[in-house]
Amino acid sequence: MTDALSRMLADKPYILADGATGTNLFNMGLSSGDSPEFWNVDEPEKIRTLYRGPVEAGSDLFLTNTFGGNASRLKLHDAQHRVHEFNKAGAELGREIADASGRRVIVAGSVGPTGDIMEPLGTLTYAIAVEMFHEQAEGLKAGGADVLWIETMSAPEEYRAAGEAAGLAGIPWCGTMSFDTAGRTMMGLTSSAMVEMVAGMKGARPLAFGANCGVGASDLLRTVLGFSATGTDAVLIAKGNAGIPKYHEGHIHYDGTPDLMADYAVLARDCGARIIGGCCGTTPDHLRHMRAALDNRPAGPRPTLDQITAALGGFSSASDGTGDDMGPTRERRGRSRG
Amino acid identity, position 142: A
221-253 pLDDT, tens per residue? 999 999 999 999 999 999 999 988 777 766 677
| Helices and strands: H and E segment counts in the chain | 13, 10
Amino acid identity, position 247: Y
265-276 pLDDT, tens per residue? 999 999 999 999
Give the span between the Cα atoms of 56 and 5, in whole angstroms: 19
pLDDT at 323: 64
Domain regions of the chain by residue span: 4-312
pLDDT at 320: 85
Q: Please give the average per-residue pLDDT across 275-286, as a whole number.
A: 96
* Residue whose C-alpha is closest to residue 87's, from 61, 64, 105: 64
Give the span between the Cα atoms of 103 and 271, in whole angstroms: 28
Q: What are phi and psi of 61, to 5 degrees?
A: -150, 140
Helical segments of 12-170, H only? 22-27, 39-42, 44-57, 71-75, 83-99, 126-142, 156-169
Cross-strand bridge partners of residue 108: 63, 147
46-69 pLDDT, tens per residue? 999 999 999 999 999 999 999 999
160-210 pLDDT, tens per residue? 999 999 999 999 999 999 999 999 999 999 999 999 999 999 888 999 999
Specify the pairing of strand 235-240 against strand 208-213: parallel
Amino acid identity, position 154: S
pLDDT at 255: 87
Contact 148, 107 (CB under 8 A): no
**Which range has the worst mean pLDDT, 101-105, 158-162, 292-296, 324-328?**
324-328
Contact 132, 71 (CB under 8 A): yes
Domain 4-312 has CATH 2.40.370.10: no
End-to-end CA gap in the chain:
42
